[in-house]
């Protein structure tokens, strides 16, 4: 049985969807803390279960009978330290299921730290040199899981993705929050150096890659960088989205048509003070080139990332269909970047 922890989350819900598409796949158990599931997770082929991963007994019940556990639980930065107990409990619960139990862990690339970023594209072999508490914690979590694998307590594989985007309301996605949600607004507010390269991962690709790892014997005992969808400068990525949006109405169904392409809004900078204090530790990622090297993954598996503009189209379509919501306002520093 495939058990997805964090099945109501951004990555977890796409993992559930991906597992449903595996021909002759195993039964799926979707686990969330609240027990509430977004629509596409609710399906005749998926059993939804409520469990709190901070409580070992609750988690053990939720993973009973699992052959593969997809650990896609996320916590907001203010509650990041909970991830430590959650990882301890995932390891213990998987160990109890037996040494053949597989754990596929959805991870970030924050453990390498600023110094590594300056050396060029991030690879799986780079040392964990994060200086901030959250980056250090992410290093600790991954190292603990791989140690449990080495000790033969379970089988672990780690898929590390860069900043993701895609269809869905995603408070923890840079592109969704600051660009896609603002389409149609008179300006776009961003932070970071627009002329530095930044890798982004398309979230459905992230999930497909995690399932690829989960279904492949050779993936275990290792870390893999998930193929990213684009590694352009931030300016090129954002302008491509804005240009796509400005002509989007020309190729969507007639009821959405407007006669003219929308004007492309200017990109202005956001004051640093507007960025959450919890996120300051990671701002270096937006001030230097931030490229994730996924050569190891693409050479080992037959995997094609979604073409960038196709991903942009799918994400725009989501926002057109979902409709707009009240969007947060940012202080105008008056600078166009
Ligand atoms: N943001 C990015 O760009 C990015 C990129 C790469 C990797 N990641 C990492 O990928 C992982 C998943 O991230 P995400 O953004 O998909 O997460 P997310 O959308 O924040 O979802 C988190 C899910 O975890 C569940 N959860 C939280 N606490 C739990 C608990 N105590 N017990 C059981 N379930 C619990 C929540 O369940 P309920 O909905 O029921 O509350 C929620 O569905 C995280 O480790 C994240 O850091 C993020």
Looking at residue 14, what is its pLDDT?
92
By most ligand atoms within 8 Å of CB, the mutation choice from 73, 84, 179, 292 for ligand 1 is: 73
Q: Are residues 46 and 127 in the same domain?
A: yes
- The confidence score (pLDDT) of residue 248 equals 66
Q: Could you tell me if residue 329 is inside a domain?
A: no
Which ligand 1 atom minimizes the distance to the CA of 76?
20
Helix and strand numbers (H, E) in the chain are 10, 12
How many Cβ atoms from other residues are within 10 Å of residue 48's Cβ? 18
Pairing of strands 230-233, 197-202: antiparallel
DSSP string, 208-236: HHHHHHHT-GGGTTEEEEPPPSEEEEHHH
Claim to verify: residue 257 and residue 136 sit in the same structural domain:
no
Spatial separation of the C-alpha atoms in residues 32 and 52, rounded to whole Å: 7
pLDDT score of 250: 56
In a domain, 88, yes or no: yes
What's the confidence (pLDDT) of residue 31? 94
CA atoms within 13 A on the CB side of 293: 14
- Which pLDDT tens digits describe the chain residue by residue (337 residues)? 999 999 989 999 999 989 988 877 789 999 999 987 665 555 667 888 999 999 999 999 999 999 999 999 999 999 999 999 999 999 999 999 999 999 999 999 999 999 888 888 999 999 999 999 999 999 999 999 999 999 999 999 999 999 999 998 888 899 999 999 988 888 899 988 999 999 999 999 999 999 999 999 999 999 999 999 888 999 999 999 998 887 766 555 556 555 566 778 888 888 777 888 889 899 999 999 999 999 999 999 999 999 999 999 999 888 877 664 433 333 334 344 4
Is 255 contained in some domain? yes
Structural domain count, the chain: 2
Shared domain check, 225 and 238: no
Residues 205 and 124 in one domain: yes
Residues 182, 188 contacting (CB under 8 angstroms): yes
User: Which residue range is the domain that position 253 belongs to?
Assistant: 170-199+232-290+307-322
* Cα radius of gyration rounded to whole Å, the chain: 20
Going by alpha carbons, the residue nearest to atom 46 of ligand 1 is: 74
- Going by C-alpha positions, the residue among 251, 241, 254 that lies closest to residue 183 is 241
**CB-based pocket (< 6 A), ligand 1:** 6, 8-12, 32-34, 51-54, 72-75, 86, 106, 108, 161, 163-164, 172-173
pLDDT of residue 332: 37
CA separation for the pair 140, 118 (Å, rounded): 22
Degrees to nearest 5, angle at CA 232 with 228 and 237: 95
Q: What is the DSSP letter of 249?
A: G
Tally of CB atoms within 10 A around 309: 13
Which residue's CA lies nearest to atom 4 of ligand 1? 163
Q: Report the distance separating Cα 70 and Cα 6, nearest Å.
A: 8
Structure-block tokens of residue 36: 């509430």
The atom number, within ligand 1, closest to the CA of 7 reads 43
What distance in Å separates the CA atoms of residue 198 and residue 188, rounded to the nearest whole number? 18
Task: Please return the burial class of 95, using the count of CB atoms within 10 Å of its CB with bins 0-12, 13-18 and 19+.
Answer: middle
Q: Are residues 41 and 65 in the same domain?
A: yes
Residue 22, classed as helix, strand or coil, is: coil
Let me know whether 128 and 244 are in one domain: no
pLDDT of the residue at 328: 33
Domain of residue 224, CATH code: 3.40.50.720
Residue 295 domain-assigned (yes or no): no
Residues 50, 105: one domain?
A: yes
Read off the DSSP letter of residue 292.
B
Give the domain-ending residue among 182, 215, 230: 230
């Amino acid at each position: 049985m495939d058990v997805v922890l964090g099945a109501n989350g951004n990555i977890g819900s796409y993992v559930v969807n991906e597992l449903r598409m595996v021909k002759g796949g195993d039964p799926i158990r979707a686990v969330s803390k609240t027990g509430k599931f977004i629509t596409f997770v609710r399906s005749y082929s998926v059993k939804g279960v409520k469990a709190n991963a901070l409580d070992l007994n609750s988690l053990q019940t939720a993973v009973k009978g699992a052959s593969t556990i997809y650990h896609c639980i996320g916590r907001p930065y203010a509650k990041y330290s909970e991830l430590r107990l959650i990882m301890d409990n995932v390891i213990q619960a998987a160990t109890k299921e037996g040494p053949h139990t597989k754990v596929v862990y959805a991870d970030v690339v924050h453990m390498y730290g600023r110094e590594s970023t300056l050396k060029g594209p991030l690879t799986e072999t780079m040392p964990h040199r994060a200086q901030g508490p959250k980056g250090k914690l992410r290093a600790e979590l991954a190292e603990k899981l791989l140690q449990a694998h080495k000790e033969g307590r379970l089988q672990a594989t780690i898929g590390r993705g860069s900043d993701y985007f895609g269809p869905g309301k995603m408070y923890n996605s840079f592109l969704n929050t600051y660009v896609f949600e603002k389409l149609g607004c008179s300006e776009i507010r961003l932070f970071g150096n627009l002329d530095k390269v930044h890798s982004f991962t398309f979230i459905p690709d992230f999930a497909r890659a995690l399932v690829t790892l989960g279904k492949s014997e050779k993936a275990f005992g290792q870390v893999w960088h998930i193929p990213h969808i684009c590694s352009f400068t931030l300016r090129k990525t954002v302008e491509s989205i804005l240009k796509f949006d400005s002509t989007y109405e020309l190729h969507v169904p007639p009821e959405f048509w407007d006669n003219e392409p929308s004007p492309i809004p200017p990109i202005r900078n956001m004051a640093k003070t507007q960025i959450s204090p919890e996120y300051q530790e990671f701002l270096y990622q937006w001030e230097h080139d931030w490229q994730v090297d996924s050569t190891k993954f693409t050479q080992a598996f037959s995997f094609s990332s979604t073409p960038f503009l196709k991903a942009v189209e799918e994400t725009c379509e989501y926002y057109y269909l979902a409709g707009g919501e009240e969007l947060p306002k940012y202080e105008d520093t008056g600078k166009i970047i």
